[in-house]
Structures are given as C-alpha cells and as structure tokens.
C-alpha cells in the first residue's frame, strides 16, 4: 500500500512538469513572424558594419528583433524575424571616430562640434523616424538609403 501511495505522489508531482513540457513544445507560439532582408546605405555607400532593429509599433505587439548589417546587407529568417505588422526601425553603425578621445582634453575640445563623419544621426536610431509594415504574404524586403544629414 505504501508503494501505491508513493507512485501516486510521484505521478502527481510529475504531471505539472509534463503539461509544461508538452505545452511549450511548439516554436509557432506567439505572434506570427516573417523573414526580412534588404540593403542599408549611408552617405551613398553600403553600410560597412552595423545593426538593424525592428520594434513593434502602433497596434503591433510582440518581441523586438534585430540583425547584423554587413557590406550593406541584412537578413533575418522567419524563425528569428520580426512580427507581422507595423514596426519602427533603428539602424546603427559601428563607427570609427576620426579623432582621438583617449585624452580628456581631446574629448572636451570636440563638445559642440558636428558629429564625426560616418556616425548615423539619432533620427535613424534612438529617435528613429524609420518605419515599415510587414505582411504574412510578403515579400518583406526593405531597403534603407540614409542621407548624410536631414
């Protein structure tokens, strides 16, 4: 009789775990995602190295996702892609400053000066004005040609 009680207790303890494992097995949970790709240029040239981020906007709800931009190209497969709907887009570049800021006097000297060439302005990243709308039908190919200054 004690063995029977022990088996019932063991099964009752494992049941929630089995439900959890079976319920979390599908990768299609959550909002539908789509593959996206495209080109990013800045100052008339392909963005050498950077990142692109897709953030749900408006009525769209879901996770944000991003990709590396290399040689002006980005690509996200459906499994890691953005959700269907309205998205805000942020683009950043890995920049190389054309002056040395290792010395405090050098840093101070450049305060208030125009941004160094090659650094993408905030209206394309933290204060982005870029937006796209993805569809389940596709194609979801978006090119971004960013001017030097707005």
The DSSP secondary structure of 77-107, one letter per residue, reads -TTTSPBSEEEEEEEEE----SS--SSHHHH
Per residue in 99-128, pLDDT tens? 444 444 444 444 555 555 557 888 999 889
What's the fold here for domain 31-146? Answer: Immunoglobulin-like (2.60.40)
The DSSP output letter for 3 is: H
Per residue in 31-46, pLDDT tens? 899 999 999 999 889 9
Q: Which residue, among 117, 115, 120, has the nearest Cα to 52 in the 3D structure?
A: 120
Question: Which is higher by pLDDT, 89 or 9?
Answer: 89
Q: Which residue, among 95, 63, 84, 87, has the nearest Cα to 144 in the 3D structure?
A: 87
Q: What are the structure tokens assigned to 10, written together?
A: 């063991």
Q: With bands split at pLDDT 50, 70 and 90, how would you rate the model's confidence at 149? A: low
Residue 58 has pLDDT above 50, yes or no: yes
Q: What are the structure tokens assigned to 148, written together?
A: 């030097």
């Amino acid at each position: 009789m004690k063995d029977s009680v022990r088996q019932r207790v063991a099964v009752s303890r494992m049941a929630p775990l089995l439900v959890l494992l079976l319920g979390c097995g599908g990768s299609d949970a959550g909002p539908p995602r789509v593959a996206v790709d495209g080109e990013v240029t800045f100052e008339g040239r392909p963005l050498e190295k950077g990142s692109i981020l897709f953030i749900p906007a408006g009525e769209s709800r879901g996770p944000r996702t991003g990709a590396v931009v290399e040689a002006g190209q980005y690509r996200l497969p459906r499994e890691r892609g953005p959700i269907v709907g309205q998205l805000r887009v942020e683009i950043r570049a890995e920049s190389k400053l054309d002056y040395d800021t290792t010395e405090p006097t050098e840093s101070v000297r450049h305060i208030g000066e125009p941004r160094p060439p090659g650094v993408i302005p905030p209206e394309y990243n933290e204060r982005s004005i870029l937006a796209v709308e993805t569809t389940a039908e596709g194609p979801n190919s978006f090119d971004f040609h960013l001017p030097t200054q707005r």
